Structure formats: structure tokens, C-alpha cells
């Protein structure tokens, strides 16, 4: 049995998708991550990156998929109408997202696919769909295949983004990965997030802006817009003692050379820092019986996908 947890980055760009030679290296699709463990597939966010993932998943046997949405902003949902398994009767798609104040989560999801904005209606798609609003501090086990160990999912609702956002901690066989996109750093760092991410193997953190952009030294100040700088992400990673920090939700106007420069400028003596790249795969082996505190995650490939 392949007992590793594999994370594949299908979309890493924030705000809106881009396609140009200057952004080809890190990729232009909006957020989508695939977590694969013991034959079970969990998806984080449904930006345009989910379209290429869906084309792979659609060729598989009947499957139960879990889609966790951080929030409903366009860049995290705009791939859903083009997600091929949504149109297959053999798919059971479970969707979990933060519960909106009006408790109408399914209605909000259906609005994404409503004429005149999209020709196919949500309730005309063939997949079996289960919509589950998540409480602010939800914790649950997900286990569509009882023969496999459960994936443990913890949620933390944050107001450090307009309208709020759900942060996720995924644990499998003693390894933890934290997904904290669309969050703005607080002064002295976000103490709740630091506690939530404590000792995780991998922290995937919003890093949309440079410090100059955030402070208004290059265009309008971005304070209050709901995104972090790479320095803010590193502060959280260091305080939480994670082993690897992956800078995520790249600004759509950021070219490849500048992303590489930001990584170079965001170094730590204790943490491996890298930028999320479309096509990046990270594999985490199960935690051994004797807890290996210093084991680093293994990077498998960084080839951009088609
Ligand atoms: Zn976003
Ligand atoms: Zn957002």
C-alpha cells in the first residue's frame, strides 16, 4: 500500500488567472490543491486549477470526492462549472465550506451556475452532491474507504479577509499540512493561526504582496485587503515551528523572476521556504513510531502541468 500523503498544486495564483510567458514557470491557474492518501482524494478550493485536476479524476472509477472551500470568492470557485466529475453520475461530490450568515450555502454555490451567467444549472449536473456548511472550529474524520486510515480535518474560521475565510489543517498518519490562503497578517502575527499550525510539516500561506506594496510604497497601500506579505507568512511559520513554508496565492501581476527573488529574500535558518508552483508535488511519509521531529517533506517534482 502506498501510505504516503501526496499534495499536488494545480493552481497557485490569486485574484484572477493569468497566462503569459512571464508567469509560465509558477503558473497562472487560481487556487486548487489535491490531497491524495490511501486512494482517497480531497480537494482544497475550486479555482481554475480544478479544471485540469477534474480531467484526470474523470477517467477514474466511481469515486467519492471531498471539496473543501476556503471561501466563495471567484478565484476559489470559478473552476467548478468546468470540473468534469460534476457531470458524471458516478461521482459523489461532498462540498464543505464556511457557513454563510444567511445559512444558504447551497443557494450561493448554485448561483455560480445560473443563467445568464452560465448555461448549465447547478441542479442539472449529474453528480450526487452533498453540501455541508462548516462550523467555525469544526473537526472531523473523513474516510470514504473504511479500509484506509482517516484523514483528519480541522477548520479555523478567520476574519482576516473580507467576508471571512476558513483555514484548514489536514492530518494523515501523524503528518499535518495547514492551508492558510487569503489571510492578512496581524501585528505580532496571528496568534490563533500560530496555535492552529503548530508543528505542522507544511504551512501553505498567503503571500500575495511584497512589503513595499503592502505599505503603499509601490501603488496604493494594500493594508486591509485581506492578504499577507512573504515576511508575514514567515513570521507565522517560525512561531508555529513548521518545517516547510510554501508561499501561495501569488499576485496575478507578479512575474516568475520576482517570485523567485521573493523566495530568496524570505530565508530562514530552520524552515525550508519555497514558492508554490503549478505542478509541484510534495510527498509526506507517515510519521514513524519514534517521532522524527526534524524530518523534512520530500519534493517530488516541479514540472508545470499542461
Ligand atoms: Zn483568493
Ligand atoms: Zn478571497
The CATH number of whichever domain residue 178 belongs to comes to 3.60.15.10
- C-alpha 123/C-alpha 113 separation (Å) is 9
Task: Taking the CA atoms of 255, 259, 260 and 262 in sequence, report the sign of the dihedral they define.
Answer: positive
- Ligand index nearest the alpha carbon of residue 248: 1
In a domain, 110, yes or no: yes
**Mean pLDDT, rounded, of the chain:** 92
pLDDT the model gives residue 116 = 95
**Cell numbers of 223, please?**
493594508
Give the model confidence (pLDDT) of 4-23 as tens digits. 999 999 999 999 999 999 99
- C-alpha 263/C-alpha 229 separation (Å) is 11
- Ligand index nearest the alpha carbon of residue 160: 2
Cβ atoms of residues 256 and 241 within 8 Å:
no
Give residue 73 CA to ligand 2 midpoint distance, Å.
Answer: 5
Q: Flag whether pLDDT at 65 surpasses 60.
A: yes
Give residue 223 CA to ligand 2 midpoint distance, Å.
Answer: 14
Q: Is 86 helix (H, G, I), strand (E, B) or coil?
A: helix
pLDDT the model gives residue 300 = 52
Give residue 288 CA to ligand 2 midpoint distance, Å.
Answer: 37
Average pLDDT over residues 37-64: 95
User: Percentage of the chain surpassing pLDDT 70?
Assistant: 93
Question: Omega of the bond prior to 93 within 30 degrees of 0, cis?
Answer: no
In a domain, 146, yes or no: yes
pLDDT the model gives residue 3 = 84
pLDDT the model gives residue 292 = 41
In a domain, 92, yes or no: yes
Average pLDDT over residues 203-224: 96
In a domain, 90, yes or no: yes
Give residue 162 CA to ligand 2 midpoint distance, Å.
Answer: 7
- C-alpha 226/C-alpha 181 separation (Å) is 10
Q: Flag whether pLDDT at 295 surpasses 80.
A: no
**Cell numbers of 49, please?**
486549477
Q: Name the domain count of the chain.
A: 1
- Name which residue leads in pLDDT, 169 or 301: 169
Looking at residue 249, the DSSP 8-state letter turns out to be S
Residue 254's Cβ-side half-sphere holds a number of Cα atoms within 13 Å equal to 31
In a domain, 132, yes or no: yes
Q: Flag whether pLDDT at 203 surpasses 70.
A: yes
Q: Flag whether pLDDT at 303 surpasses 50.
A: no
Give the model confidence (pLDDT) of 219-246 as tens digits. 999 999 999 999 999 999 999 999 999 9
pLDDT the model gives residue 294 = 37
Give residue 166 CA to ligand 2 midpoint distance, Å.
Answer: 10
Give residue 143 CA to ligand 2 midpoint distance, Å.
Answer: 29
pLDDT the model gives residue 298 = 53
Give residue 221 CA to ligand 2 midpoint distance, Å.
Answer: 17
Print the domain residue range for 264: 5-301
Average pLDDT over residues 132-152: 91
In a domain, 306, yes or no: no
Q: Flag whether pLDDT at 299 surpasses 90.
A: no
Burial of residue 111, with CB atoms counted within 10 A of its CB: 0-12 exposed, 13-18 middle, 19 or more buried: middle
Looking at residue 226, the DSSP 8-state letter turns out to be S
Among 78, 88, 94, smallest CA distance to 40 is for 94
Give residue 8 CA to ligand 1 midpoint distance, Å.
Answer: 18
- Ligand index nearest the alpha carbon of residue 31: 1
**Cell numbers of 185, please?**
497578517
Among 13, 22, 16, 29, smallest CA distance to 305 is for 29
Amino acid at each position: 500500500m502506498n501510505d504516503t500523503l501526496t499534495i499536488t498544486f494545480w493552481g497557485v495564483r490569486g485574484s484572477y488567472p493569468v497566462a503569459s510567458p512571464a508567469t509560465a514557470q509558477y503558473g497562472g491557474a487560481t487556487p486548487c490543491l489535491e490531497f491524495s492518501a490511501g486512494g482517497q482524494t480531497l480537494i482544497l478550493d475550486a479555482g481554475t486549477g480544478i479544471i485540469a485536476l477534474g480531467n484526470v479524476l474523470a477517467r477514474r472509477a466511481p469515486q467519492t470526492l471531498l471539496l473543501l472551500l476556503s471561501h466563495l470568492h471567484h478565484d476559489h470557485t470559478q473552476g467548478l462549472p468546468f470540473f468534469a466529475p460534476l457531470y458524471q453520475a458516478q461521482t459523489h461530490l461532498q462540498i464543505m465550506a464556511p457557513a454563510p450568515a444567511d445559512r444558504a450555502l447551497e443557494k450561493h454555490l448554485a448561483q455560480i451556475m445560473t443563467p445568464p451567467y452560465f448555461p448549465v444549472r447547478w441542479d442539472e449536473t449529474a453528480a450526487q452532491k452533498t453540501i455541508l456548511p462548516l462550523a467555525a472550529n469544526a473537526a472531523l474524520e473523513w474516510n470514504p474507504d473504511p479500509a484506509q486510515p482517516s484523514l483528519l480535518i480541522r477548520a479555523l474560521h478567520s476574519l482576516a479577509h473580507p467576508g471571512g475565510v476558513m483555514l484548514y489543517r489536514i492530518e494523515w498518519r501523524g503528518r499535518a499540512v495547514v492551508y492558510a490562503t487569503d489571510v492578512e497578517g496581524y501585528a505580532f502575527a496571528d496568534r490563533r493561526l500560530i496555535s492552529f499550525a503548530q508543528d505542522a510539516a507544511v504551512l501553505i500561506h498567503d503571500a500575495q504582496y511584497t512589503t513595499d506594496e503592502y505599505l503603499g510604497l509601490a501603488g496604493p497601500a494594500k493594508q486591509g485587503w485581506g492578504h499577507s506579505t512573504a515576511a508575514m507568512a514567515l513570521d507565522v511559520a517560525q512561531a508555529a515551528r513548521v518545517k516547510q513554508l510554501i508561499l501561495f496565492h501569488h499576485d496575478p501581476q507578479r512575474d516568475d523572476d520576482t517570485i523567485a527573488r521573493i523566495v530568496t529574500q524570505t530565508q530562514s535558518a530552520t524552515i525550508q521556504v519555497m514558492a508554490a508552483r503549478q505542478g509541484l508535488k510534495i510527498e509526506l511519509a507517515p510519521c514513524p513510531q519514534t517521532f522524527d521531529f526534524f524530518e523534512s517533506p520530500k519534493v517530488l517534482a516541479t514540472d508545470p502541468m499542461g
